[in-house]
Amino acid sequence: MKKKARYFAADSREAAEEKALAYFERGRSGIIFEVVKDGTEDSDWLLFAYMGSEDALSDMGASYGLFYEEDGVWLELYKERGSGAPLDIAAMTTYVSSKKISGLDEFAFRTLAQKRSGRSKIGSAQKEFFLGEDLSVSIAGDEMEAKAKLLAPEPGGAKLELEAAIQKVVQAGVTHGLNVNTLREMLDAGEYNIERIVAVAIPPENGVDGVLTWHFETGEKTARPKEIEGGRVDYKQLDLYEPVSEGQMLVTRTLATEGTPGATVKGRELKQKRGKDVAFPRGKNVDIDAEKTKMSAKASGLVEVVNGSVNVSNIYKVEGDVGPAVGNIDFDGSVQISGNVLTGHVIKATGGIFIGGVVEASEINAGGNVEVKRGMQGMDKGNITAGGAISILYIERGKAVAGGSITVDASIHSVLEAGESLYAKGKRGSIIGGRAAAAGEIVATSLGSVSHAQTEIEVGVTPKKRERFSLLEKEIEKITGEITKLDQQDAYLEKTKGKLDADTWDKLYRSLAESRRSNGEQLEEYQTEMDDLKRELEEATNGKVHVYETVYPGVRLTIASDSYKVNDDIEYATFKFREGQITYTACEMKKS
């Protein structure tokens, strides 16, 4: 590219001007000539030629030109005029250095640079090195971004390769956040002198705050009916408490993270903000790991959050009655009810059940003991079942079955079955009508009534065990019949050996062997249970019935294999089994 300004030397002014006209390839119009030095016999004329207007020349900025002539490499400096910008010595020095001039005359270069104008030969004659594409990189003061500008090559200069461009950015001080794709796009598009952001600081990643995860419903209980199959609702199954099982996870905590620091484009660290840890809740009847990241229930029961503390209780308390407002209860633990249990409700507990009032026609089922402070108005529908003992003031037209003992003040037309002994004691201590059975003894103040109510009394073994004994007899008979059939099939299979194909015979043989094994194990299990029950039935002869006052007509007593029907009042007596029959003597037990 031709310069707009240049010095021309010749032995005459006319010759110098002709050189200028040939260089600019135009006529005299539009070219301004200034004599820098008159020619003499010993030196040439030196003209300054400028292609442009007088106004442009009057405000011309300083510039420079590098020319490769036959006699050497010449550097020309053009001083600024008027309001024109002064010469950028640093930029000129960089440019001259980048041209890779062989044998550069440093002294001539510095001398000319100090003069700020004129021309000087700074190198011997040589082939010009043309500058290729280059990259100018600038970094923001806060180092948050770096920009690059692709510089056009000199005619014949080489294109800048991507790897070289990356190296230039790195040499400028960029170590982080370089966008190689942007650089590639600049090079591919040949976008000269357009500044683009090529690197951006890597922002810090702040840490994540710690989080508590609750594995149970922590909101207030709605007391709404629970939904059952078909979109229907059960108005006795209400949302009143949150049940949990032993070992059930209650709360987990995800710890806060440190985060990751960022970096400016020059690699200066940008601090991150660490996440905040969340406090782990306190707890009662819970297990918490050493790191305080996991909380589980130490026992089965109900869980609730009270003043930020997670409390597990194996006692479910109801203040007042169990009615429509409370609904049915099915609790893994014990249940305490201060009031009554109204008709039609079900209370189930794996532990004990305490009821401070009356039980109406409802179902009470406990894995432990049952205590009813008042009594039961069963209406022939009430039912109490306990794995342990049952203690109740009175029971009328209800049923009570206990794995342990039963203690009652009065039983009226009800069914009582005690796995141990049955005690009818208190103000009345009576069993009137219905049926009462106990594996141990029955102790009562009176049995039956003056109206001769039909009352069944049995000791030594419970009716349930008698029923089980009868069922086992039938099952053993059935299995014995199956084993007989298997024996017949075995005999048939032995006869067909060698006649049936091997695979079919083998399958039949294995099937019969498996059936025999299964039936044999079942028979052994039933036989063991039956032997145990037989011993209990034989020991049922030890059962006794103690009555402190009166046994009324209408009462029938059963001990072991004998029954005794009372036809007349019998007072203060103990009934027992002796020599194959029931006899009675004066009461052997003192009234406590």
| pLDDT at position 278 | 93
C-alpha to C-alpha distance for 18 and 31, rounded to whole angstroms: 12
* Cα distance between residue 454 and residue 327, in whole Å: 37
Asked whether the predicted pLDDT for residue 154 surpasses 90, the reply is: no
Nearest partner of 165 among 144, 151, 145, judged by Cα: 151
Mean pLDDT of 179-201: 93
CA 89, CA 87: separation in Å to the nearest integer? 6
* Number of Cβ within a 10 Å radius of residue 100: 11
Tokens 């010449």 label which residue? 74
Fill in the amino acid letter for 78. Y
pTM higher than the cut 0.75:
no
- Is the pLDDT at 138 greater than 70, yes or no? yes
Neighbour tally for 2: CB within 10 Å: 9
Number of C-beta neighbours around residue 219 at 10 A: 8
Structure tokens at 426: 């208190």
**Higher-confidence position of 255 and 242:** 255
Say whether pLDDT at 5 is over 60: yes
Q: Are 263 and 270 in contact (CB under 8 A)?
A: yes
How far apart are the C-alpha atoms of 592 and 575, rounded to whole Å?
19
- Residue 574, both tokens: 């103990």
- The predicted-structure confidence for 83-108, as pLDDT tens digits, reads as follows 999 999 999 998 999 899 999 999 99
Residue type, 443: V
The whole-angstrom separation of Cα 333 and Cα 234 is 23
Q: Is the pLDDT of residue 569 over 90?
A: yes
Structure tokens at 2: 């031709």
pLDDT attached to residue 239:
46
Q: What average pLDDT does the segment 35-52 reach?
A: 90
The whole-angstrom separation of Cα 111 and Cα 88 is 15
CA atoms within 13 A on the CB side of 468: 16
Mean pLDDT of 348-362: 91
Pairing of strands 370-386, 353-355: parallel
User: Which DSSP state fits 525?
Assistant: H
Q: What is the DSSP string of 27-71?
A: -STTEEEEEEE---SSS-EEEEEEES-HHHHHTPPPEEEEEEETT
Residues 6+ apart with CB under 8 A from 580: 561, 562
Mean pLDDT of the chain: 89
- CA atoms within 13 Å, Cβ hemisphere of 532: 9
pLDDT grade, residue 575 (50/70/90)?
Answer: very high
Q: pLDDT band for position 312 (50/70/90)?
A: confident
